[in-house]
Amino acid sequence: MDPTDVAGEPQYRTLLAVDVSEAKAGQRVRLAGWVARRRDQGGVYFFDLRDSSGLVQVVVDPAEVPAARDLRMEYCISVEGIIRPRPEGMANPDLITGRVELAADDLRVLSKSEPLPFVLDARVEPEERLRLEYRFLDLRRPRMRANLRARSRAAAAMRDTLNDRDFLEVETPTLIRSTPEGARDMLVPSRLRAGSFYALPQSPQLFKQLLMVGGVDRYYQIARCYRDEDFRSDRQLEFTQLDVEGAFWGREGVFDTFEAVVAAVVAELRGSSLVVPFPRMTYADALLRYGTDKPDVRFGMEIRDLGDLFEGTEFRAFSAVLDDGGVVRGFNAGARDLSRSGLDALVDRAKALGARGLVSGAVDPEGSWHSSAAKFLSADEVAGLTAALDGSPGDLLLLVADSARVTAEVLGQLRLDLGKPEGHDDLSFLWVIDFPVFDELEGGHLVPSHHPFTSPVDVKEMRERPREAISKAYDLVLNGSELGSGSVRIHDPEVQREVFEILGISAEEAERRFGWFVKALRYGTPPHAGFAMGIDRLLAILQHETSIRDVIPFPKTQTGTDPMTGSPTEVDPDQLAELGISLSEAAAATDDG
């Protein structure tokens, strides 16, 4: 790693810090970087020089090199000297370069630094908003430098894997027609056509399908996507996904390809191999056993349906729900010694999640159930409940009686609250398959479970029983986080028309919103399928980060602001006038405030 300079230009370095080694002892080299730490040891200065590759210790006598006297933290410098072994007993095993140092006899300050707003080493974790305000400094920290490097290596592994499989990398437009896909569009006004707007893509969905119509057999793109939605630790207004589509293949081709891609990334970043193919679980089974369509299967505590056990029960809290078409379900939270206040907190948590209440009880040494609800249950019901949940003495059993949706949401979240493992390297990938074609909102209105271009398994079933129809959609889940979604697409324009019709989208509205896309389906569209995976989410998990903000170079805060640039902000009124835009009084007042 010996950078060369154009003739006549100053030579800032001949080596990177990581390449300073015992094998190069005695060599004269020049390094460049930032002063990470500085120590005065009886008139001789020691400082750590940091560049993009790592750290190396530099020793300098200020009597011989006066410029060293004025060094401060994060000064950018170029330094020259001889590589030598560190004195006996002074090696640093925590550094790759810890057995050697650079004895400097020449030092140039390339740029000074103001006092730092926070320390840039790994010993102190600054407050996040301050880190984002000074993101240009935050990126110098070891953790962030490692995350950036991991992001680059992961992208290279993805490209190498797909290129080896004859995929074609194609860019799709950033300024597109607004075609809402679930979240709000990010809109961009047009100056040349006042009153009209582009939208930033929520995904390249329609364009990658058009590439299939255009005869592109295998497509991929590391794509920027934009969604105006509420923030979470794993969501941003703008994010990056690996987008893939293929013609004349189906679900199995997608699974095989993405398993290879993910395995390559894990091998690159973790140095470990994955067992493929990944397990599969139906959507219905995931909701029943784990209360969510993105289950964390690294631990047990599976939810069991107890409706048959309590059929005919005299416990009114259960019988009333069952008579009303609801369910009774529960799980074994394992051996726990919770106080009364701890149990009350679980009840409060269940209610906050939407449940009417929570029935809890501990299995006693005789196999009975220590619970305030036990007096309402028969001995057979208690024994059956304990057996159904594999209860052992000391185990805490938790039950919820409510609608299937509420019960799944409450027990699924309680399961994560009580059992989700943290701080280890387990990677548990899972394909969730057989999603419904449609979800039903309150009032009976149907919406796409994935998106309206997803193919149903059985068109006749979709036509006759749309609420029961199963789609050819699938999700990839890792440790309880949804990495991405995909499906076999509709390639028959008549089936696409029927889906729009079921969704209540009239022919006129379909033409207005999707006419340009539907037109393409009428020109010999091949069967095709695809998938899109969130790169930020995958990297956050592989890098042991709890938020995707720490694997994105320049993210927004949870309120959608950028403390570094101050965006979003108002713009000059002349710019708005040129675009034919005027602000409402409420919006103008907000800007003035």
> Over 50: is that where the pLDDT of 3 sits?
no
Contacts of 244 (CB under 8 A, 6+ apart): 162, 167, 218, 219, 220, 254, 257, 258, 486, 530, 531, 532
Q: pLDDT tens-digit profile of 271-298? A: 999 999 999 999 999 999 999 999 999 9
Q: pLDDT tens-digit profile of 375-418? A: 899 989 989 999 999 999 999 999 999 999 999 999 999 999 99
Identify the residue with better confidence: 394 or 422.
394
> Over 80: is that where the pLDDT of 464 sits?
yes
> Over 70: is that where the pLDDT of 6 sits?
no
CB-based contact 224:203 (threshold 8 Å): no
Average pLDDT of the residues in 319-345: 93
Q: How far is CA 465 from CA 49, 444, 456, 499, in A?
A: 68, 14, 12, 12
> Over 70: is that where the pLDDT of 112 sits?
yes
CB-based contact 137:120 (threshold 8 Å): yes
Structure confidence at residue 367 (pLDDT)? 73
Complete domains list, the chain, with CATH: 17-111 (2.40.50.140), 145-275+429-435+471-491+526-573 (3.30.930.10), 300-419 (3.30.1360.30)
Structure confidence at residue 79 (pLDDT)? 97
* Cis peptide leading into residue 277 (ω within 30°): yes
> Over 70: is that where the pLDDT of 577 sits?
yes
d(CA 178, CA 197): 8
Average pLDDT of the residues in 358-366: 89
**Mean of per-residue pLDDT scores for the chain:** 92
Q: What percent of the chain has pLDDT over 70?
A: 96
Encode 371-413 in three state secondary structure. Answer: CCCHHHCCHHHHHHHHHHCCCCCCEEEEEEEECHHHHHHHHHH
> Over 50: is that where the pLDDT of 513 sits?
yes
Q: pLDDT tens-digit profile of 526-548? A: 999 999 999 999 999 999 999 99
d(CA 208, CA 170): 9
CB-based contact 420:297 (threshold 8 Å): no
Cα Rg of the chain, angstroms: 30
Average pLDDT of the residues in 228-249: 88
CB atoms within 10 A of CB 39: 10
Structure confidence at residue 118 (pLDDT)? 94
Structure confidence at residue 4 (pLDDT)? 46
Contacts of 296 (CB under 8 A, 6+ apart): 290, 416, 420, 428, 479, 480
Identify which of 328, 381, 389, 337 has the alpha carbon closest to the alpha carbon of residue 357: 328
Structure confidence at residue 591 (pLDDT)? 57
Structure confidence at residue 28 (pLDDT)? 97
Average pLDDT of the residues in 220-232: 87
